[in-house]
Each structure stands twice: as C-alpha cells, then as structure tokens.
Structure 1
Amino acid sequence: MSLQLQALAGPALAFAACAGVATYAQNLTGFAFSLILLGLCSVLHVASINDAANAASVLSLVNAWAYLRGHPAHNPWHLLRPILNGSVVGVLGGLMLLAWLSGSAMDALRGLLGLAILVCALLFMLQTRPRAQLSGRASFTFVGVLSGLLGGLFSSGGPPLVFHMYRQPLGADVIRRVLLLSFALGGLVRLAVVLPTGQFSLQAALLTAAAFPSVYLVSRFHRWLPHEFEPRTLKALVGGLLCLAGGTLLFGAWQALSAA
C-alpha cells in the first residue's frame, strides 16, 4: 500500500504545481486555466487528459470562488445573463454534434477551429483600441452560444468569449469577473453530465484533492500581491495564450489526420 501511495504522490504533487501555474495565469487574464493545466499535464505526462479535464472542472469552481471571495465587487449580471443563457444552449448542441460527427470530421473541424483562433488572436493583437461602445445583448448571447458549442465539442470554449470580451470598453477586473464566472458555470455543467454517468474516476478525485490547496493559496497570493500589467502587456499575454490554444488544436488535428 505504501508503495502504491508513493507512486501516486509524485503525479499528484506535479499536478498541484501545474494547477498553481494555471491559476495564476487565469487570475491575471480571466481565462486559460484549463488550457494551461491540460497542456502541462500532456507535456509532462502527469495524468490522462480525461482525468485532468474532470479535475479542472472542479478546480475552476474553486478558483472562481477563491478569486471572487478575495476581490469582492458587484458582479456584472447584465453581461453575464445573455452569455450564460447562450452557453447552456451551445453546450447541449456541442454534445449532440460530438455524438454525431465521425472521427475524421472531428479532426478536420478541430483544425479549422485552431486556424480560426489563430486568425482571431492576430486580429486582436493588431487592434489598437477597444470598441467605442459596448456590444449589444444579442452579440453576448451569440458569443455565449459559440463558446458553449466549442466547449461541448472540444472542451475549449474560451477563445471566442475571450476575443469578444477584450474588445469591449470595460475594465480588466470586469472582464476577468465575467470570464471567471462564465467558465465556472461551464465547469458546473460539465460536472452535471460527468458525475451521474460515472466518468469521474478515483484518480481525478485524488488529483483534485491534491491541487485544491495550490489553487486556493495561489488565488490568495494574487490578492496579497496583485500584479496589474499595462494594457499593452496584457494584450500581448492574452494574444499569446490565444495563439497557444489555436496552435495546439491545429497541431493536434494535423497529427490525427496525418496518422489516419
């Protein structure tokens, strides 16, 4: 038994460290938690993508709770409601498409998504200033549907919402709050599907328990020592993370289609 626990301890500690890095990035930008966590787990072979994604769903709730508890302010529900309403519809549509599409069609779609995200990232970084006026309610609903659709298909619904929010004439804290709450709800919806079907493994539960203190402490650390980037630096960071997301999807699709 002790040998078994020792074998589990190494991956659990490595996962906790990866979760800490992902938490800090998300608290700076409002997104990229799952992107960074799953990417690091894949590169370091810490855990399976399925277990890491399930753990990330729980940890995204922990991260949002810790951040919002440490940064009390009014939540912009007038922006969140249309996004959340659209997101739920999009997730259901994405799950239905996932069951219908074949493997090769999914890989091609993943590659197109990666290419689209890269184009959006470049447009975002070339944009010199935000929009003059806040977008209409319909646009927030639409981007919520699109984000939910991609989340249901690829567990990667962040880029459309991030691109849309960072173009709005809003403060960085408001954007972070909208993104954190939106992704926390997405994690909750995912758990509502995964838990009743028995897809949440014991390994995922152990990874979640190991990373819980790391996520909470990093969020608290960000409150004690906040690091506010200049708008230009923040734009470069967000654009770089979007490029990473798009490039990862494009490379994964190319590998899958080449092996077919």
Structure 2
Amino acid sequence: MEIQTLIPFIAIIAFATYVQTVTGFALGMIVMGTVTTFDLVPIAFTSVVISAVTFVNGLVAVKGNVDALDIKRVMFTCAGMFPAILLGLLLLDYMSTEFNHVLQLLLGGSIIGAGLMIMLKPDPLAHPSSPITFGASGGAAGVMAGLFSMAGPPLVYLFYRQPFELKTIRLCLVTIFLLCAVMRTGMVGAQGGLTIEMGIFSVLCIPMVTIFTWIGKKYPPPLSNNNMRRFAFFLLILIGISLILKNL
C-alpha cells in the first residue's frame, strides 16, 4: 500500500480509537465513513482492518475493568448478533461487486441515522430490558457489523437506556465490539476473504491503536457526556452527508 494512503488511514484510526475509548462507540463509523469518503481503500478492506483494531482497542480498554461488566447482557446481545454477522457479510459480498454506489449510499444513511440516535435522549428505563430485546438489538447490530464493521448504532441506543452505571455501559459496548470483531474476522477468513496486505496493514495500525486507547483511558477530554455526544453527532452527520453527496 502506498505511503500517501497509509499515513492518513493510520491518522484516522488513531483519532477514531481515542473517540471510541472515551465514549464506548464510534470507531467503526468514523473510520469507515471517512476512509470511504476519500476513497482510500475499498469497503471490504476497511471492514477487516476495523475488526482488527477494534479487537486491540477492546483488549486494552477492558483490561483491569472486567468487574464492571454485565456479562449476562453481553451474552444475550452476542447470541443475536453472531448469526446476523454472516447475513451482513453475504450482503457485502453481493453489493460490493454489483451495487457499490448503493452500498456507499446505504453506509452514508446508516452513519447519519447513527448520529441522530446518539442525540436521542430517551428517559432511562426503570428496569433492564428483556433478554429478547438485547438479542434483537444484537441481531440488527450483527447485520451492520457484517456489512460495515459498524455494530454501534442499535447497541448504543439500547445500552444507554439501561439503568446501569456509565462505566458498565461503555465496557459492555467495547466488549461486545471486541467479540464481534473476533467472530467477523473468523467468518471472513473462512470465506477466503483475508489477504496478506490486510494483515500487514492491521499490524501497522496496532501500535497507534494501543497508544491512543491508553491516552483515552488516562486523559479523557474535559467535556461532559452530553457535549461528547454532540461532538460525535456533528462529526457523524458531516461524514454521512459527504458520503451521500459523493454518490448522488
């Protein structure tokens, strides 16, 4: 891969890693949207790299904080998500060859929808949602993960409604994304979709992911949770609109 592609890609990865560490979401949306907008690499390639860096980000973020996890809700969510990842991958394989512009429009619309969901502030639930609700949300997230390595929107909306501590919500999300990355990468590998270049590129990104995950844990921005949500909202809306305009 050429250096003029590698440097901006790694810079995008670093920024998105920091945002995900302090919010619990957005890595896949920021990387996929920005990289696709500037035509740095194809969507399928970007998806594999996102899965790899999400795995590293999750390991570093969860380390030392396992006691704050709600393992039961993570399991309910993954039970719905894992089968749906395969459906998303099959859709990606078909659309990336036959309907690439439609795929990019769908990505732009998904990112805008994610930004709007981030700004929605429904009242917290009095009691945790049912296992079926977590499983259904996981199913929707799995399709998006298969298509774009972007499982965040349905899960962020659901988990931020739960009567859990903020730390628990963020760690649950990061853990689910980590497990999703493992499952998706395994499925892509079984389909023969992994290449040496993808592996090399992912390895080159790992040091930056590790550094910026640590920075996010130690030095979060001096912003309230609401202001962090507003920042993520405007960033995602901008990325989504740019993608849609590019493909109209």
Moved more, 239-248 or 79-88: 239-248
1:208 counterpart = 2:202? yes
Match of 1:192 in 2: 186
Q: How much does 1:30 deviate?
A: 1.1
1:90 to 84, 88, 99: 84
CA distance in 2, matches of 1:197, 1:120: 29
CA distance in 1, matches of 2:104, 2:38: 27
CA distance in 2, matches of 1:188, 1:196: 12
Q: How much does 1:27 deviate?
A: 0.4
2:109 to 104, 109, 114: 114
Residues 16 and 214, structure 1, Cα contact 8 Å, conserved in 2: yes
SS at match of 1:88: helix
CA distance in 2, matches of 1:162, 1:126: 11
Q: Which amino acid aligns with 1:67?
A: A
Q: Percent of pairs identical after alignment?
A: 26
Segments of 5+ residues of structure 2 without an aligned counterpart are none
Note closer, same or farther for the CA distance 1:50–1:164 as it changes in structure 2 (3 Å cut): same
Pick the structure with greater CA Rg: 1
Q: How much does 1:203 deviate?
A: 2.2
Match of 1:3 in 2: none
SS at match of 2:68: coil
Which runs of structure 2 are paired with 1:172-251 in the superposition (5 Å)?
A: 172-227=166-221, 229-240=223-234, 243=237, 247=241, 251=244
Q: How much does 1:178 deviate?
A: 1.3
Note closer, same or farther for the CA distance 1:192–1:140 as it changes in structure 2 (3 Å cut): same
Q: Which amino acid aligns with 1:208?
A: S
Q: How much does 1:233 deviate?
A: 1.4
The number of residues matched between the two structures is 247
Q: How much does 1:57 deviate?
A: 1.1
What is the TM-score when the length of structure 1 is the normalising length?
0.78
Which runs of structure 2 are paired with 1:33-52 in the superposition (5 Å)?
A: 33-52=27-46
Q: Which amino acid aligns with 2:27?
A: F
Deviations 1:12-46 (A, max 9, x none): 33322221111001101111112212233234444
Q: Which amino acid aligns with 2:119?
A: M
Note closer, same or farther for the CA distance 1:114–1:94 as it changes in structure 2 (3 Å cut): same
Q: How much does 1:108 deviate?
A: 8.7
Moved over 6 A (4+): 99-102
Note closer, same or farther for the CA distance 1:97–1:56 as it changes in structure 2 (3 Å cut): closer
Note closer, same or farther for the CA distance 1:13–1:97 as it changes in structure 2 (3 Å cut): closer
SS at match of 1:73: helix
SS at match of 2:190: coil
Q: Which amino acid aligns with 1:42?
A: T
Segments of 5+ residues of structure 1 without an aligned counterpart are 1-6
CA distance in 1, matches of 2:104, 2:12: 29
Q: How much does 1:84 deviate?
A: 0.5
RMSD: 3.4
What is the TM-score when the length of structure 2 is the normalising length?
0.81
Moved more, 159-168 or 7-16: 7-16
